[in-house]
Amino acid sequence: MAETRTGSDITGEHGPDSGCGSQEVMELALQAGHILLENGAEIFRVEETMDRICRHFGLESGSAFVLSNGIFMTAGGKTEHFFAKVQHIPVSGAHLDKVAEVNQLSREIEAGRYTLREAEERLEQIKNMPGKRKRTQILASGLGSAAFCYLFGGNVVDSMVAFCAGLAVYAYVLYLGVHLSKIVGNILGGALVTLFCGLACGLGLGQHLNFIIIGSIMPLIPGVPFTNAIRDMADGDYISGSVRMLDALLAFISIATGVGAGTSLLHLL
């Protein structure tokens, strides 16, 4: 993270709260934007939330430029001290519960339910919210794989195989894939799913290999980033939308490469 700052706090009154320094307000808005962007929020939502916080606490000159992996924020004018800060935010997964909480917090701040200090404390609580337990994520992956397999045309036995494959692939993602690059991890994940499903069908445990594989790879598909990329470009945020779209397309290509490699290996066997 690179950052530059100038100026000092304002000690006068700003809007609903007295004694709110420009730097304190900017730090609060920046932290809210960081949490949103890090957890999969759209660009317009990040900008809107940061603007809402600044305006409520009387910081009229606050301005933010948000990209898919960074926030540039400045403030300053004739009556407000200058402030500038840059934060780099790596592209990561989506945690929509945190996005929803920050979005709700910004609306409650605008409604006057929080002072600056209370908002900082609440934001810190949201930041430290625990994620879903690993076994819950693995179980959800299995259920999702089984449901998609059945939806695409598989029978009950195929769905049971997809359920087991979904458990296996997400256990791999949580315990092994985190130590690999995204491209390599997706390639190996696609190959693992294909080999698992192919061997199961070879043992007579499934009838429609294509439906089983399609259902089983669904937990690997970056659906939220792909959807957000389309929404960003529709809102005119072409740079951020293009970056997210490229990241999603690389994931799609990597998964397809892994499935192709696994299929080739099955044919050799």
Domain edge (last residue) among 103, 127, 151? 127
Q: Are residues 87 and 185 in the same domain?
A: no
Confidence bin at 225 (pLDDT 50/70/90): confident
Q: Are residues 27 and 77 in the same domain?
A: yes
User: Could you tell me which of 262, 258, 253, 266 has the C-alpha nearest to residue 188?
Assistant: 258
For the stretch 123-167, pLDDT in tens is: 999 999 888 899 999 999 999 999 999 999 999 999 999 999 999
For the stretch 230-244, pLDDT in tens is: 999 998 888 888 988
Q: Are residues 177 and 231 in the same domain?
A: yes
Q: Are residues 148 and 253 in the same domain?
A: yes
Q: Are residues 79 and 185 in the same domain?
A: no
Q: What pLDDT shows up at residue 236?
A: 87
Q: What pLDDT shows up at residue 15?
A: 43
Phi/psi at 256 (nearest 5 deg)?
A: -65, -40
Total domains in the fold of the chain: 2
The domain in which residue 33 lies consists of 13-127
84 located within any domain: yes
**What's the rounded Cα separation, in Å, for the pair 20 and 118?**
12
1 located within any domain: no
100 located within any domain: yes
Q: What pLDDT shows up at residue 18?
A: 39
Domain edge (last residue) among 72, 94, 127? 127
User: Could you tell me which of 104, 133, 136 has the C-alpha nearest to residue 119?
Assistant: 104
Number of other residues whose CB lies within 10 A of the CB of residue 10 = 20
Q: Are residues 26 and 119 in the same domain?
A: yes
| Of the listed ranges 9-23, 79-93, 171-185, the one predicted with least confidence | 9-23
Q: Are residues 260 and 155 in the same domain?
A: yes
Strands 70-75 and 83-88, sheet pairing: antiparallel
Helix (H) or strand (E) holding 63: strand 63-67
For residue 105, pLDDT beyond 70: yes
Please state, for a pLDDT cut of 90, what percent of the chain lies above it: 53
Q: Are residues 123 and 167 in the same domain?
A: no
Q: Which residues, listed in sequence order, are joined to residue 87 by a DSSP beta bridge?
A: 71
Q: Are residues 205 and 259 in the same domain?
A: yes
Phi/psi at 85 (nearest 5 deg)?
A: -155, 145
Confidence bin at 50 (pLDDT 50/70/90): very high
For the stretch 4-37, pLDDT in tens is: 444 333 333 344 443 457 788 889 999 999 999 9
Q: Are residues 146 and 253 in the same domain?
A: yes
